[in-house]
Amino acid sequence: MKKIITLNLFAILLMLPMCYAAHYIVGFVEDAKDGTSANDHTILLWNPSIGIVDNLTDIIGVNGNSHVNNIYMIDCELLTNECEIGNNLTLKVINNGDNYVSEEKNVTVTGAGYDLVDGLTLNSPPNVTSIVVDDDITIPLDEIDLIPADTKNVTCRAIITEYDGENSLVNATARFFDNVDSDYNAEDDNNHHYTNNSCFMNYSYGNSDEVEVICKFDVWYYANSQNWNCTLNVEDNLSASSKGSDLSFVNTLLALGLDSFIEFTEVDNGNVSSESKINVTNYGNVKINLSLSGYGSVENDKNAMVCSEGTIKNISIEYEKFNLTSSNEGVIDLSEFETKYVNLTSSPTVKKFNLDYRKDDLVNDAINLTYWRIYVPQGVSGNCQGNIIFGAVQAPGS
């Protein structure tokens, strides 16, 4: 019997260290300052000198190894590369999907039964408590009026509550996008998507837990007329982020521009002028037709021009004509003049033009030519001047 005891004890001395080995890393996690419980969040332990791939986790609180609220308990001998005395281990609460994490804490493995980690606190992600997007004209609310041929300053303003202290808020970005034809992740395009990666953070706003975030966008005149969404993303020093959004409607903008005067060169009496061309540019955000009318010196005077000399000192309105679709170069007679061109009128007349709004951010593709001629009757001489009123009318289907 004694021999058996001796034999067994020898075997035990050799083998027992392999049978049993446990070293506990324990610690306390405080609830987040916004009141969220640390319980049921996951804490991760790893040895940085080995790498985070070899890790262990525990559920904080009663559902974890400790069975005690806010406490975790991990046996670091269960790492694939078992912990040894002197190892420095790192722990942190990881994101379970609710955005709550913690800072990292280090602990050195000792020869004691357990090692106690310094207290962790569950981080509160920043909270977007209010957000408003609008232009500088706040009445009516939630409507944005663009500026022809220019940009409009749109501001997305939010109040952020950061329970871990306003200084832990480190980054704020915003995206402003057409809520129908685009989305948060789309690429920037002046028609439907804008990004601001450097929003202003006003730490002097409110109390020590509040930050005002201001994100500005220069929105081009050809931005889609739609409901637009400003989505703000704020991030704290532990990369916990939150989003908030608000909608505002971009109103339709009807606007056009002309690049020059229409200038007819010298015309002999009884003849039709050469064709003069003028570019019309859509400076709005809808497809347009043209409303055209003309006058000599005062509106509705039935003239196209008034002249400085001659027995007849004006040119009737119907002698000035236009073609909105095609050019007819060269000398033409009255018959061609009548068939290929349309009379200008004293009262506005809407003509189909279907000039779409700008879609190309690099080159202005919202430009179309118009073609003009005038007939100079007998008895007119000298310099003649008149006026043509171009108006933009929203085209169907835009």
Partner 1 sequence: MNKYLLILIFTVLCVSGIIIAEDFKESVELTEGKNLINLSQEFSPLYVEDLVKMYPEITAVTYIDQTEETFGYVNVFGGIGENFVIYPNLVYEIITKQKITLNLK
Kindly state whether residue 26 participates in binding partner 1, applying the rule CB under 8 A. Answer: yes
Kindly state whether residue 68 participates in binding partner 1, applying the rule CB under 8 A. Answer: yes
Q: Which is nearer to partner 1, 41 or 192 (CB)?
A: 41
Do residues 155 and 215 lie in contact, with contact meaning Cβ atoms separated by under 8 Å?
yes
Binding segment toward partner 1, per CB under 8 A, in 97-105, 111-119, 223-231, 307-315: 111-119
Least Å distance between CB 52 and partner 1? Answer: 22
Q: Whose structure tokens read 């085209």?
A: 395
Least Å distance between CB 106 and partner 1? Answer: 18
Kindly state whether residue 78 participates in binding partner 1, applying the rule CB under 8 A. Answer: yes
Nearest of 190, 194, 189, 200 to residue 160 by alpha carbon: 200
Residue 189: DSSP 8-state: B
Q: Which is nearer to partner 1, 13 or 362 (CB)?
A: 13
Residue 273: DSSP 8-state: P
Q: Which of 39, 47, 55, 66 binds partner 1 (CB under 8 A)?
A: 66
Kindly state whether residue 247 participates in binding partner 1, applying the rule CB under 8 A. Answer: no
Kindly state whether residue 86 participates in binding partner 1, applying the rule CB under 8 A. Answer: no
Q: Classify residue 235 by burial, with Cβ atoms within 10 Å: 0-12, 13-18, 19+.
A: middle
Kindly state whether residue 141 participates in binding partner 1, applying the rule CB under 8 A. Answer: no
Q: Which of 36, 37, 90, 114 binds partner 1 (CB under 8 A)?
A: 114
Kindly state whether residue 21 participates in binding partner 1, applying the rule CB under 8 A. Answer: yes
What is d(CA 60, CA 63) in angstroms, rounded to the nearest whole number?
Answer: 7
Q: Which of 32, 38, 55, 75 binds partner 1 (CB under 8 A)?
A: 75
Kindly state whether residue 67 participates in binding partner 1, applying the rule CB under 8 A. Answer: yes
Kindly state whether residue 9 participates in binding partner 1, applying the rule CB under 8 A. Answer: yes
Least Å distance between CB 72 and partner 1? Answer: 9
Which whole-number Å values give the CA distances from 103 to 24, 56, 76, in the listed order?
20, 17, 20
Least Å distance between CB 13 and partner 1? Answer: 9
Q: Which is nearer to partner 1, 60 or 156 (CB)?
A: 60
Q: Which of 3, 20, 263, 363 binds partner 1 (CB under 8 A)?
A: 20
Least Å distance between CB 26 and partner 1? Answer: 6
Do residues 389 and 292 lie in contact, with contact meaning Cβ atoms separated by under 8 Å?
yes
Binding segment toward partner 1, per CB under 8 A, in 72-80, 152-160, 205-213, 350-358: 72-80
**Three-state DSSP class for residue 106:** strand
| Cα pseudo-dihedral 308, 312, 315, 318, rounded to 10 | 170
Q: Which of 16, 137, 180, 331 binds partner 1 (CB under 8 A)?
A: 16
What is d(CA 339, CA 332) in angstroms, rounded to the nearest whole number?
Answer: 11
Kindly state whether residue 350 participates in binding partner 1, applying the rule CB under 8 A. Answer: no
Kindly state whether residue 15 participates in binding partner 1, applying the rule CB under 8 A. Answer: yes
What is d(CA 26, CA 398) in angstroms, rounded to the nearest whole number?
Answer: 66
What is d(CA 126, CA 232) in angstroms, rounded to the nearest whole number?
Answer: 12
Task: Using the Cα atoms of residue 160, residue 164, residue 169 and residue 175 in order, give the sign of their dihedral.
Answer: negative
Least Å distance between CB 126 and partner 1? Answer: 31
**Distance, CA of 145 to chain centre:** 17
Q: Which is nearer to partner 1, 2 or 185 (CB)?
A: 2
Q: Which is nearer to partner 1, 57 or 195 (CB)?
A: 57
Kindly state whether residue 8 participates in binding partner 1, applying the rule CB under 8 A. Answer: yes
Cβ neighbours of residue 3 closer than 8 Å, sequence gap 6 or more: none
Cβ neighbours of residue 112 closer than 8 Å, sequence gap 6 or more: none
Q: Which of 24, 184, 249, 390 binds partner 1 (CB under 8 A)?
A: 24
Which residues are registered as beta bridge partners of 178?
A: 228
* Interface size with partner 1, residues (CB under 8 A): 28
Nearest of 92, 162, 91, 98 to residue 124 by alpha carbon: 162
Which whole-number Å values give the CA distances from 70 to 28, 34, 308, 388, in the listed order?
6, 16, 96, 79
Binding segment toward partner 1, per CB under 8 A, in 5-13, 248-256, 290-298, 327-335: 5-13
Which residues are registered as beta bridge partners of 236?
A: 169
Q: Which residues bind partner 1 (CB under 8 A)?
A: 4-5, 8-9, 11-12, 15-16, 19-22, 24, 26, 28, 65-68, 71, 73, 75, 78, 111-114, 116
